[in-house]
Amino acid sequence: MHCAEVHSDVKFFASRGHSPMSYCQSVGLLGPNTVLAHMVHLSSSDISTLAETGTHVAHCPSSNSKLASGIAPVPQMLAAGVNVTIGTDGAPCNNSNDLLQEMKLAAIIHKAASVATSSGPDPTLVTAEQVLELATIHGAKALGLFSKIGSLEIGKRADFVAIDARGVGMQPWYSAVSAVVYCATGRDVEVVVIDGRVLVEGRRLVGMDEEVICREAERRGHEVVSRAGLTEIVRGRWPVC
């Protein structure tokens, strides 16, 4: 569930005499079967409670940035032993739902935020290797699927993507992990395999007509906006022919 995403969340918990995590703990929400999304406004005691209870966190940096929610204390959570993974939230507050782009932002936003801390700027915070783990094995742990997915190991499902690193936008590169985290986007994904089944090959969906899907998505999206009376509100500020 979403939690501690905006300041109003914290105000609500305070009105009940609680911090975000003490409230969640009081209603029996915390534990290894729970994933809390966002978790932007946390105290040090909240972070300790997360670690003690084994509760998972889904970090959504694009959504938190676009909606001006704030920046989750991911370095502090990782240091405390909290299992943090990466999410995209939803299309209205993320747009691309591209986990690779989300990885890049997760890798750089905390470095920028460190400028305003008492310890000063730290460009080593949240490394590319850590981010790749957040997006893979940590996500598997959060879903209770650690024994099945999240890494390429004997006995686990064949779940993986293949990224074409030969394009101009990824040249030159020296570390495969850094190249994936800082350069790659979803458009660089050549192959997607889920449990041994190829779902994307040659950057196109297998067994589905992408053009038909896109036309249907556009039609239904405009229908929803029209029914809600938001056509003029969501229209761009500049006139487009």
Q: What pLDDT digit, counting tens, does each position of 132-144 carry?
A: 999 999 999 999 9
Place of tokens 């699927």: 145
Cα distances (Å, whole numbers) of residue 99 to 81, 88, 149: 23, 7, 17
The contacts of residue 241 (CB under 8 Å, 6+ apart) are none
84 DSSP assignment: E
Mean pLDDT of 68-80: 97
- pTM (predicted TM-score): 0.91
C-alpha 39/C-alpha 54 separation (Å) is 15
Ordered by start, the domain boundaries in the chain are 1-150, 158-208, 216-241
Cα distances (Å, whole numbers) of residue 148 to 71, 137, 158: 31, 10, 9
Residues pairing with 58 in the sheet: 37, 85
Q: Report the top-level CATH class of 1-150.
A: alpha beta
Residues pairing with 47 in the sheet: none
Confidence band of 237 (pLDDT split at 50, 70, 90): confident
The superfamily in CATH containing domain 158-208 is: Urease, subunit C, domain 1 (2.30.40.10)
> pLDDT tens across 91-149, in order?
888 889 999 999 999 999 999 999 988 888 999 999 999 999 999 999 999 999 999 99
C-alpha 165/C-alpha 190 separation (Å) is 10
C-alpha 169/C-alpha 74 separation (Å) is 29
C-alpha 120/C-alpha 115 separation (Å) is 5
